[in-house]
């Protein structure tokens, strides 16, 4: 089960390494996440969030995450 904080982190946390370093997790290509799924997601919170991001993309729920990317700058806060 995920929490609200997980969704906010998926929307705002930058990928810390690799080809898509600096890109928010929700903006990672599905193919990239599928590659990690086959090889192995990183350990810890990053891996958990990447796996959750993949599930969100597979289920077509990206539209629920995208508004969270700019909520802070629009005054929505957390």
Gap between the Cα atoms of 77 and 71, Å rounded = 6
Q: Which residue has the tokens 């890109």?
A: 23
Gap between the Cα atoms of 12 and 78, Å rounded = 11
Residue 74 belongs to some domain of the structure? no
Residue 76 belongs to some domain of the structure? no
Gap between the Cα atoms of 7 and 9, Å rounded = 5
The one-digit pLDDT tens for each residue of the chain (78 residues) are 779 999 999 999 999 999 999 999 999 999 999 999 999 999 999 999 999 999 999 999 999 898 998 765 444 455
Residue 75 belongs to some domain of the structure? no
Residue 62 belongs to some domain of the structure? yes
Residue 46 belongs to some domain of the structure? yes
Residue 54 belongs to some domain of the structure? yes
Which of 78, 58, 57, 59 minimizes the C-alpha distance to 69? 78
Q: How many domains does the chain have?
A: 1
Residue 40 belongs to some domain of the structure? yes
Residue 78 belongs to some domain of the structure? no
Range of the domain at 54: 4-68
């Amino acid at each position: 089960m995920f929490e609200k904080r997980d969704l906010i982190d998926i929307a705002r946390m930058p990928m810390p390494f690799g080809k898509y370093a600096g890109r928010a997790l929700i903006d990672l290509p599905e193919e990239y996440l599928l590659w990690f799924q086959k090889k192995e997601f990183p350990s810890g919170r990053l891996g958990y969030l990447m796996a959750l991001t993949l599930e969100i993309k597979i289920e077509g729920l990206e539209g629920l995450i995208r508004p969270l990317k700019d909520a802070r700058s629009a005054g929505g806060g957390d």
